[in-house]
Structure 1
Amino acid sequence: MTGDGDGRGARVRARVRDAAPGLGTLAGYRRQWLVKDVVAGVVLTTLLVPQGMAYAELAGLPAINGLYTSVLCLLAYAVFGPSRILVLGPDSSLGPMIAATVLPLAAAGGDSGRAVALASVLALMVGAVMLLASVAKLGFIADLISKPTMIGYMNGLALTILIGQLPKLCGFSTDAEGLLGEVSGFVRGLADGKAVPAAVAVGVGGVVLILVLQRWLPKVPAVLVMVLLAIASTSLSDLDARGVGLVGTLPTGFPPLSVPHLAWDDLAPLCAGAVGIALVSLADTISNASAFAARSGQEVQGNKEMHAIGAANVAAGLFQGFPVSTSGSRTAVAERAGARTQLTGVVGAALIILMLVQFPGLFRNLPQPALAAVVITAALSLADLTGTVRLWRRRKAEFLLSVAAFLGVALLGVLPGIAVAVGLSILNVFRRAWWPYNTVLGRAPGVAGYHDVRSYPDAERLPGLVIHRFDAPLFFANAKTFRDEVLRLARDKPPPRWILIAAEPVTDVDTTAADVLEELGKVLDDRRIRLVFAELKDPVLRRLEGYGLTRAFGGDRFFPTVESAVAAFRARTGAVWTVPEPPPGTGTDGGTGTDGGPARAEASHDDPAPPR
């Protein structure tokens, strides 16, 4: 009985650790970690407070809601998060998406309270999407956005944030919408003399100070230093009297647990925004978790991360918060400060609560342009110009994808921009499958096996035999591309006797492709050209057997290796390996024929009749 009880207890504890990894970490907590976690929590709080307020205003919400959000997501992730040091919170990449979703709906109500309620519902929806995706084990969804399109999206987002914050940096506001409208509104505001010199000095000085400290003194908390100096400048220079807006005293206390109300008319736009935010948050979380897990030797658990992010968003949504994601910068700060576990985040949450309850006026003299400086420097960190240049140098097609995603965000808006980014990523995958790389193989001197004649233009080939490789599964979209390429090879002069498909990259053949193969075999038979296959994977070969193609073609057309097929061809024809002569007009490189395809050897006129 005791043994059964111990076994059940162990299973219960294992299930608890699986559902709430943070509690499992607490069970194995070491005393020597405590001082480091507490110190890291204090250091982290100095970044959490100004960034939380700044990103709340970026989302079009009161600054105080950024602090509510920070507290709840830190506590929730400390319980449910699988990573020991990953830090969650309001994020600069999500702020514009939240604003784009909530503000058009809140405008109808005309008050910030409605905007907060809508943002809280949005957080609950994002949490629900994440939790459902976790249950369905859909962590791979983060891969829907390719790196080139993500770079373009983030570049567009950085530009959008930067332009949107410039009026605030200069002490005025505009009612313009869209990137071009905001640029125009900012320029008109400057022309009309709306810029406040003191605000410009604080804002621009704050941006420069943060960038300089981050570049030359990375261990110094740049944001905290800038915030403290900005608060000091308010007292010394009476910035309020000079027309500079201040944060003011924050509301005292912490909001009660509440379920925000939702009008049915708001459901559809909020759902669309929630899906986009969840996708970006997931991609950001997986990338950050992977980066920091690699440093600490941990393993990334995508589905558990989704579960934790979902729980954090639900917790934030129940206490007047808004959607959150992981933060690479805040996690890096916690790591450099010596964080060992999620107790660091708990300490940060406790200090924020203490500030709200006992010292709500701590940041009352913080200038609004200083918050704009925090947002702008965060936006600059989102941009990846080096990565964009690398794409240009390495692969022009992916550079163009990145530019298209950038333009989607800049010209259409943040939410349409994420749709453009996902759509482009999916279309790029489809394009590669539709027009995959295909080539002719030959025997390269001194290299085992058979290789691409584009890479080895001097590769030997057998007269009368074309070894063709098609680097994709055969399915409805590319079957005709495959057929057209094979027929092009069959039109060589003199025509080949065998066209051997090196089919190792062909991982599947659907019914449409099977019909095309059967028709292609008949066409080539009529031309006395034999279509044969080598290195078909067993599942693909069984599928062809199910389609009846092995009977239609005959079993002697399927070979286990390219080498065995080549040996069979040589046994039937007596062909000898030769180095092809370059076609006329191509010089001595022999790389391509006149139609853009690779050059091939011609069979001698006294070869035996083509085998049947």
Structure 2
Amino acid sequence: MTTQHTNRRLLSRLWAVPGFRAMSSYRREWLVKDLVAGVVLTTLLVPQGMAYAELAGLPPITGLYTTILCLLGYAVCGPSRILVLGPDSSLGPMIAATVLPLVAAGGDPDRAVALASMLALMVAAVMILASVAKLGFIADLISQPTMIGYMNGLALTILIGQLPKLLGFKVEADNLTGECVGFVQKLADGAAVPAAAAVGGGGIVLILVLQRLLPKVPAVLVMVVLAIAAAAAFDLGKHGVGLVGELPEGFPPFTIPDVRLADLPLLVAGALGIALVSLADTISNASAFAARTGQEVRGNQEMAGVGVANLAAGLFQGFPVSASGSRTAVAERAGARSQLTGVVGAALIVLMLVLAPGLFRNLPEPALAAVVITASLSLADIPGAVRLWRQRRAEFLLCLAAFAGVALLGVLEGIAIAVALSVLNVFRRAWWPYNTVLGRVPGLEGYHDVRSYPHAGQLPGLVIYRFDAPLFFANAKAFRDEIRRLADADPRPGWIVIAAEPMTDVDTTAADVLEELDEHLNAQDVHLVFAELKDPVRRKIERYGLTRTIDPRHFFPTVEAAVAAFRLRTGAEWTPLTTTGQPAEPRPDAAAPPPADEQ
């Protein structure tokens, strides 16, 4: 093999890595914008990284380690031009719910870091394997209503969990109810530290006001700087306010997490939940920002990029990460053009740890609680829940159930409930699909729902029936019962035409039900007729042997063809009906369709 051929192969492999491909197309005019955006982004990365580490029950320094490594990992393997990854407020409670029950009663921070790092490696493995298997569609397992409920429950959980830290005390509890009770009891006992409450409350107000009135100003950084200045000026540490203290100096060491075999089951469960939420966050954020930059979203590559970011974080004492909409928006507003922005941010954090590790030693912990609480407020979507209540009560109930699952059972249990509810809702719609009789409406082509157009015309002896779902084991009997009800009408119809265009599948259980149904109808001189049945479904029916009972001549390409055949056979003429089923004058101005069903 020639050297030239070897070089070509090497170049083709490097070209497959998004980071190297981006370098080859990098434009010189982007450099200054990326450098400036990296500096601006760092002002948000540092305080949020530390705050979200504490939210996950870990030392603040691990948030900086995680930020550095995930930015570098995604810059090499992530396909999005400006997406920013890092510690996330939606993952923090899930990490804590997985790690803290495994930590010894004394709360050993080294063991917590090892468990969180192993969790990041597991999330990386899940993401990379899912990318190889092209399972990006898994992000769709959580429907929007259940995601709204989950995020609202998560926001409430974060808010209640951070209130004690905001006021300068701690509450030991295993669930939201216990935290609420403990918070009220401690508050009644006078455990709140006035100085801590002033720093925390003032921090929340300052961030919210600046974000509202001066959105281009880095509100979090301004608050953090003022909090550090206040801690130094008023010696807040001596007034009962907890401070972050001196951070370890230098770059994080390469570390293989050491965990016990007994810890793995809970870590695996947590990793699956975190991977699902991280994937959903990443795909949604990537889609939103790709639309602005003219890029295409490559879901499987995004999974690989997030997987590598988690891998890098897990090997250097970090914890699981996800895409961040807020940090990506900051980078975009600052002029970011490529992943060099994230690399600059990572480099600046490394310089800070090497040259100025004491920069944040006077940062009050209530200020970090304020950062987390304001982030939790952005997770909540109360208007979305209200919209569901107004538009579709069934989906509002799904939202409420997901919210209750997070709030009452826990974060990991809540994500499991959200996924289960989403899947069950899909199954419910297929189990009890919308079905109706169709008729002809003067002035409108085709055949239409008699519930929307009660004066639609009918052919005596013919019923056109539409069943809006695949026919499978769970709904086959409901289909059978409805057809029998139509066949038992007085007068009895001669043909029941199934408008089968929505019927995308027929499984073996449904085939057996159809065979029994057709035999039952034939005994009553009623014929089951199919129109617009898709070719793959027709072939399945033939393979099942149903044409032994269902006359092959009773399959028509369109409803119009089936109706024409019936009219040719019987000479029937159209008869308009009223809502009571009696003849009436045709009404071209048919009623408008009703609102979406409340199923």
TM range (shorter): over 0.9
Partner residue in 2 for 1:570? 567
Partner residue in 2 for 1:15? 13
Per-residue CA deviation, residues 571-597 of structure 1 (Å, 9 max, x unaligned), is 111111121122289x99999xxxxx9
Q: What amino acid sits opposite 1:478 in the alignment?
A: N
- 1:12 & 1:513 partners in 2: Cα distance? 54
Where in structure 2 are the equivalents of 1:521-560 lying within 5 Å? 521-560=518-557
Q: What amino acid sits opposite 2:530 in the alignment?
A: F
Partner residue in 1 for 2:488? 491
- 1:375 & 1:59 partners in 2: Cα distance? 11
- 2:261 & 2:92 partners in 1: Cα distance? 24
Task: For residue 108 of structure 1, report the CA deviation from its aligned partner.
Answer: 4.8
Number of equivalences: 588
Could you tell me which of 417, 421, 425 is aligned with 2:418?
421
Could you tell me which of 27, 30, 45 is aligned with 1:30?
27
Per-residue CA deviation, residues 495-549 of structure 1 (Å, 9 max, x unaligned), is 2111100001111111111111111111111111111000111111111111111
- 2:123 & 2:353 partners in 1: Cα distance? 26
Where in structure 2 are the equivalents of 1:210-289 lying within 5 Å? 210-289=207-286
Task: For residue 5 of structure 1, report the CA deviation from its aligned partner.
Answer: 4.3
Partner residue in 2 for 1:356? 353
Q: What amino acid sits opposite 1:337 in the alignment?
A: A
Task: For residue 491 of structure 1, report the CA deviation from its aligned partner.
Answer: 2.0
Per-residue CA deviation, residues 237-275 of structure 1 (Å, 9 max, x unaligned), is 221122111111111011211101121111111111111
Q: What amino acid sits opposite 1:326 in the alignment?
A: A
Task: For residue 458 of structure 1, report the CA deviation from its aligned partner.
Answer: 2.1
Q: What amino acid sits opposite 2:331 in the alignment?
A: A
Partner residue in 2 for 1:179? 176
Partner residue in 2 for 1:601? none
Q: What amino acid sits opposite 1:224 in the alignment?
A: L
3-state SS of paired residue (2:366): helix
Task: For residue 550 of structure 1, report the CA deviation from its aligned partner.
Answer: 2.1
Partner residue in 1 for 2:502? 505
Task: For residue 445 of structure 1, report the CA deviation from its aligned partner.
Answer: 2.0
Task: For residue 110 of structure 1, report the CA deviation from its aligned partner.
Answer: 3.9
Partner residue in 2 for 1:64? 61
3-state SS of paired residue (2:249): coil
Q: What amino acid sits opposite 2:14 in the alignment?
A: V
Where in structure 2 are the equivalents of 1:589-600 lying within 5 Å? none
Could you tell me which of 408, 429, 437 is aligned with 1:440?
437
3-state SS of paired residue (2:528): strand
Q: What amino acid sits opposite 2:526 in the alignment?
A: I
Could you tell me which of 318, 321, 329 is aligned with 1:321?
318
Unaligned runs of 5+ in 2: 592-596
Q: What amino acid sits opposite 2:15 in the alignment?
A: R
- 1:431 & 1:339 partners in 2: Cα distance? 45
3-state SS of paired residue (1:48): helix
Could you tell me which of 185, 190, 197 is aligned with 2:187?
190
Q: Is the 8 A contact 2:243 2:362 kept in 1?
A: yes
- 1:497 & 1:236 partners in 2: Cα distance? 92
Q: What amino acid sits opposite 1:15 in the alignment?
A: R
Partner residue in 2 for 1:43? 40
Change (3 A) 1:462 1:11: farther
Task: For residue 464 of structure 1, report the CA deviation from its aligned partner.
Answer: 1.5
Q: What amino acid sits opposite 2:29 in the alignment?
A: Q
Partner residue in 2 for 1:462? 459
Per-residue CA deviation, residues 268-322 of structure 1 (Å, 9 max, x unaligned), is 1111111111111011111111111111111111110110111111110110000
Task: For residue 12 of structure 1, report the CA deviation from its aligned partner.
Answer: 4.2
Per-residue CA deviation, residues 364-417 of structure 1 (Å, 9 max, x unaligned), is 111110000000000010001111111111111110000000000000000011
Per-residue CA deviation, residues 152-191 of structure 1 (Å, 9 max, x unaligned), is 0000000000000000000111112200000011111110
- 1:489 & 1:204 partners in 2: Cα distance? 66
Match status 1:368 vs 2:365: yes
3-state SS of paired residue (1:528): coil
Where in structure 2 are the equivalents of 1:64-213 lying within 5 Å? 64-108=61-105, 110-213=107-210
Q: What amino acid sits opposite 1:82 in the alignment?
A: P
3-state SS of paired residue (1:107): coil
- 1:469 & 1:423 partners in 2: Cα distance? 29
Q: Is the 8 A contact 2:454 2:579 kept in 1?
A: no
- 1:528 & 1:580 partners in 2: Cα distance? 25
Task: For residue 460 of structure 1, report the CA deviation from its aligned partner.
Answer: 1.4
Change (3 A) 1:539 1:128: same
Partner residue in 2 for 1:478? 475
Where in structure 2 are the equivalents of 1:266-415 lying within 5 Å? 266-415=263-412
- 1:38 & 1:94 partners in 2: Cα distance? 29
- 2:552 & 2:200 partners in 1: Cα distance? 77
- 2:549 & 2:524 partners in 1: Cα distance? 17
Q: Is the 8 A contact 2:455 2:579 kept in 1?
A: no
3-state SS of paired residue (2:359): coil
Q: Percent identity?
A: 74
3-state SS of paired residue (2:472): coil
Task: For residue 82 of structure 1, report the CA deviation from its aligned partner.
Answer: 0.1
- 1:155 & 1:10 partners in 2: Cα distance? 52
Task: For residue 354 of structure 1, report the CA deviation from its aligned partner.
Answer: 0.2
Q: Is the 8 A contact 2:50 2:64 kept in 1?
A: yes
- 1:15 & 1:544 partners in 2: Cα distance? 48
- 1:100 & 1:329 partners in 2: Cα distance? 24
Partner residue in 1 for 2:594? none
- 2:8 & 2:447 partners in 1: Cα distance? 56
3-state SS of paired residue (1:257): coil
Change (3 A) 1:313 1:362: same
Q: Is the 8 A contact 2:454 2:578 kept in 1?
A: no
Q: TM-score, normalised by structure 1?
A: 0.94
- 2:15 & 2:201 partners in 1: Cα distance? 48
3-state SS of paired residue (2:247): coil
Q: What amino acid sits opposite 1:510 in the alignment?
A: D
- 1:401 & 1:519 partners in 2: Cα distance? 37
- 555-564 or 448-457, which moves further after superposition? 448-457
Q: Is the 8 A contact 2:123 2:320 kept in 1?
A: yes
- 1:11 & 1:483 partners in 2: Cα distance? 61
Q: What amino acid sits opposite 2:253 in the alignment?
A: P
Q: What amino acid sits opposite 1:179 in the alignment?
A: L
Q: What amino acid sits opposite 2:314 in the alignment?
A: G
Task: For residue 84 of structure 1, report the CA deviation from its aligned partner.
Answer: 0.4
- 1:240 & 1:123 partners in 2: Cα distance? 34
Partner residue in 2 for 1:609? none
- 1:47 & 1:459 partners in 2: Cα distance? 63
Q: What amino acid sits opposite 1:489 in the alignment?
A: L
3-state SS of paired residue (2:212): helix
